[in-house]
Amino acid sequence: MSNVMLHRDHACPGRKQNHICPSIAGWQKCQLIMKSTTVASLVALSLPAVLATNHTLCYNYFMKKDGCVFSAAAPDQRCPAPPKEHTTPVSAFELHSGPNLVKRSEPRRLERRYDTTRPSFAVAGGEGICGFYNSTSEPGVCLWSGPEQISPTVETAGWLNGAKTSNCGKRVYIQRKGQPNTVQFVKVLDGCSFGTTQPDPGCFDIALTIALFNKFKPTPQEEKDGLLYGGITWDFDNLEGTHTQQAPV
C-alpha cells in the first residue's frame, strides 16, 4: 500500500468534482501543475502576435493595391497572376560613394501592374545592405530599398533596407521577356534607391550585378549602352507556393 494518504476534502483545481488529490505535498503539486498550465496557455495565446510577420513597404503596397502579392508565402495572400515584367532596357547597377547610391538610367512610365518600363543597370559591388558581394563574379539582383536613404527604418523598407533585411538572400528568377530559355535563378544581394521615393515605380524596379548582366549574353550594342533591350521578367521564386522560404516579406 502506498503511504500517501488521499483526502477527499482537497479538490484539485481544474479537475472534476469527484477527483481526489494527495495530501499536502500532492496538493502543492496540483497547484504547480495548474500554474504551469496557465502560463503555457498564456504563452500559446501570445505566440501569434510574436510570430506575426512585419511586412515591407512593397509587400503592403501590393496588398493594398491588388489585394495580393506575387510569390507570397500565405496562400490567401498570393496572386495567381503572371509575374513582374521589365519591358524596357535593363542595365547593371553601379555603386558610387555609398552602398545604396546608384547610377540609374532615364526613367520610364509604368505601363501596367508588376511591369516596369525603366531600364535596370549593373552595380559595381562592395559592402551592401545584405553584406559584401563581388558584382563581377557573383550573379544577383538589387531591389528597391525604399524612400528613406538617410535614416531608414523597418517601416520605410521598400523590399529591404538596412533596418529590414528579411528579403536578403531570397532567390528570384529573372529572364529576358518571352525567352524562358534565358532564365537565371539568383539571390537578392543589395538594395538600390533607383532615384525614387515612390513605390510606383520603386517596387517594380530591379538592377543586376555585372556577372548577371553578362549571363544574358548582351549584344555589342547592349554592351556599349550598358543596357539589356527587349524587357525583363522577374519575381521571387515562389509563384506556385512550392518554395515558401523564398517568398517575399
Q: Which of residues 28 and 74 earns the better pLDDT score?
A: 74
Q: Give pLDDT, residue 90.
A: 64
- Checking if the pLDDT of 99 tops 70, the result is no
Give the separation between CA 56 and CA 68, rounded to whole angstroms. 14
Give the amino acid at 164.
K
- Evaluate whether 131 touches 188 at the Cβ level (below 8 Å): no
The region of weakest confidence among 20-24, 144-148, 155-159, 203-207 is 20-24
- Averaging pLDDT over each range in 2-11, 111-120, 203-212, which range is the top one? 203-212
Percent of the chain with pLDDT over 70: 62
Give the separation between CA 32 and CA 67, rounded to whole angstroms. 48
Q: Give pLDDT, residue 87.
A: 60
Beta strands 140-144; 206-209: pairing state? antiparallel
> pLDDT band for position 80 (50/70/90)?
confident
Average pLDDT of 33-55? 55
- Of 53, 58, 54, the C-alpha closest to 194 is 58
Q: Which of residues 190 and 43 earns the better pLDDT score?
A: 190
Q: Which residues is 188 bridged to in the sheet?
A: 141
Give the separation between CA 185 and CA 139, rounded to whole angstroms. 9
- Evaluate whether 162 touches 148 at the Cβ level (below 8 Å): no
Give the separation between CA 50 and CA 52, rounded to whole angstroms. 6
Q: State pLDDT tens for residues 206-247.
A: 889 999 999 999 999 888 888 888 888 899 999 889 999 999
Walk me through the domains of the chain, giving residue ranges and CATH numbers: 6-51 (no CATH), 57-246 (2.40.40.10)
Mean model confidence pLDDT for the chain: 76
Q: Count CA within 13 A, CB hemisphere, residue 107.
A: 11
- List b or e across 80-114, with b for residues whose CB sees 16 or more CB atoms inside 10 angstroms: eeebbbbbbbbbbbbbeeebbebbbbeeeebeebb
- Evaluate whether 21 touches 217 at the Cβ level (below 8 Å): no
Cell of 161: 533596407
Whole-model pTM over 0.75 = no
Give the separation between CA 114 and CA 204, rounded to whole angstroms. 6
Cell of 221: 550594342
Cell of 163: 533596418
